Amino acid sequence: MISTDRATTIILELSQAVAETETVPLHSALHRVLAESVVSKLDFPHWDNSAMDGYAVRWSDLQAGIDCLQVVSEIPAGVAPTKSIESGQAARIFTGAMLPIGTDTIVIQENTQRAGDQIQIMKPAAQGEFVRRQGDFAKTGEVLLTKGTRLLPASIAVLAAAQYPQVQVYRQPRVAILSTGNELVQPSDTLAPGQIVDSNQHALTALIQQWGGETVLLENAPDNPQELAAMMQRAIDLADIVISTGGVSVGDYDYVDRVLAELGGEIHIAAVAVKPGKPLTMATFQRGQRVLYFGLPGNPVSALVSCWRFIYLGFQQAAGVANPQLPWMEAVTGVDLRSDGKRESYLWGKVEIKNNRQEFMPVAGGHSSGNLINLAQANALALMPVGQNAAAHSVIRVLRID
């Protein structure tokens, strides 16, 4: 049994970005990961422009005490000024419009009084006020977004503005999800005594979709070494990452670890000192690029916690994300929390802002790893280090799961 830190290190060492990239148009680039850094072909702003509606003036006029100017042109946004502005003159200007030659300062319209083509300046402006200067936000040749960035709306706005109508991204990792167990049936099936619905397949499919991966669905595998081996081999052939649930404990019907070895997998993790989710298996297969195999316990809570705490990092790295991080945050616990003596434990609950701080409260109901019902009420997992209880109102670390 290895520590959670060691398991994290192993997973990060063995996972690598998928080799293939593809070009996608911006409207389908959300959540995709940049496979190349994006360099600006332009200065931002592209030219000096006005941040406000008002008048473009020569600051030297204001400095010389001139407070009455003649308005000689009008420049709306989208129009290039043609006239340069001489001393004693001003140009009517609107937000986003280019500054005419000769001007360097904007007097906002609220600080002027207009009479015909004359303006009276009621309140002088500081030099350069309300001017967005060319290149202030970014210069030509500057890196705007680095390789390994997961694209969100703001980064997509940058790509559009920088005239990248399409971008080079990593192929989404293909994740095969395999449920194992003779007791499993589908949600639409009639339950016979002893059977349960395979909820893991649905939970993990949703999770991989949420993470931005592509899922490969497989039929459930029975607890029979031959059929299980055939299904596991199919999964390994089809995917970059395989996640199977069930069959990794010490029971008589738990064959996954044995089959992994028989199929030629190199086993790197056999158990982790974590609760829930101790019987976490990780193996790799060499098939062109390395395939990662994660064997998770079948208990629905254990399976999801293992994904949130461990597989997330391997998945993100496979997706091409540079330096992926777990979504940790600090919170104050609302109640006393007890840790396990030997394993790092995770308690599921809700963090919410209370009295101006994030407070964690365990969800009501049993905290057994088979209880998936109250897990649906949780948005965070409280980390309880080995043998360290947390008193009510003390600061703890929690992992966001929403």
Between residues 15 and 180, which has the closer beta carbon with respect to Mg ion?
A: 180
166 in contact with ligand AMP (CB under 6 A): no
Who contacts 390 (Cβ-Cβ below 8 Å, separation ≥6)? 333, 336, 337, 339, 382, 384, 396
Between residues 219 and 237, which has the closer beta carbon with respect to Mg ion?
A: 219
| Nearest-approach distance from CB 184 to Mg ion, in angstroms | 9
299 in contact with ligand AMP (CB under 6 A): yes
Which partner from the list Mg ion, ligand AMP, none does 173 bind, CB cut-off 5 to 8 Å by kind?
none
Q: Can you tell me the distance from the alpha carbon of 261 to that of 284, in angstroms, rounded to the nearest whole number?
A: 10
222 in contact with Mg ion (CB under 5 A): no
**Residues 185 and 191 sit within 8 Å (Cβ to Cβ):** yes
196 in contact with ligand AMP (CB under 6 A): yes
300 in contact with Mg ion (CB under 5 A): no
Binding-residue pattern over the window 365 to 384 for ligand AMP, x denoting contact by CB under 6 A: -----x--------------
Which partner from the list ligand AMP, Mg ion, none does 198 bind, CB cut-off 5 to 8 Å by kind?
ligand AMP
Q: Is 24 exposed, middle or buried (0-12, 13-18, 19+ CB in 10 A)?
A: middle
Please tell me the count of residues contacting Mg ion according to CB under 5 A: 4
Half-sphere exposure of 185 toward its Cβ, with a 13 Å CA cutoff? 10
Half-sphere exposure of 258 toward its Cβ, with a 13 Å CA cutoff? 13
| Contact with ligand AMP (CB under 6 A) among 54, 81, 173, 181 | 181
Q: Which of 100, 101, 105, 106 is nearest to 79 (CA)?
A: 100
Between residues 304 and 396, which has the closer beta carbon with respect to ligand AMP?
A: 304
Between residues 365 and 370, which has the closer beta carbon with respect to ligand AMP?
A: 370
| Contact with Mg ion (CB under 5 A) among 54, 181, 276, 324 | 181
Q: Can you tell me the distance from the alpha carbon of 86 to that of 70, in angstroms, rounded to the nearest whole number?
A: 10
245 in contact with ligand AMP (CB under 6 A): yes
Q: Can you tell me the distance from the alpha carbon of 152 to that of 259, in angstroms, rounded to the nearest whole number?
A: 40
| Nearest-approach distance from CB 381 to ligand AMP, in angstroms | 19
- Beta-sheet pairing, 274-275 with 196-197: unpaired
Question: What φ, ψ does residue 216 adopt, rounded to 5°?
Answer: -115, 115
Give the three-state DSSP class for 352. strand
Binding-residue pattern over the window 234 to 253 for Mg ion, x denoting contact by CB under 5 A: ------------xx------
Q: Under the rule (CB under 6 A), what is the footprint of ligand AMP?
A: 179, 181, 183-184, 196, 198-201, 245-247, 249, 251, 297-300, 370
Q: Under the rule (CB under 5 A), what is the footprint of Mg ion?
A: 181, 246-247, 298
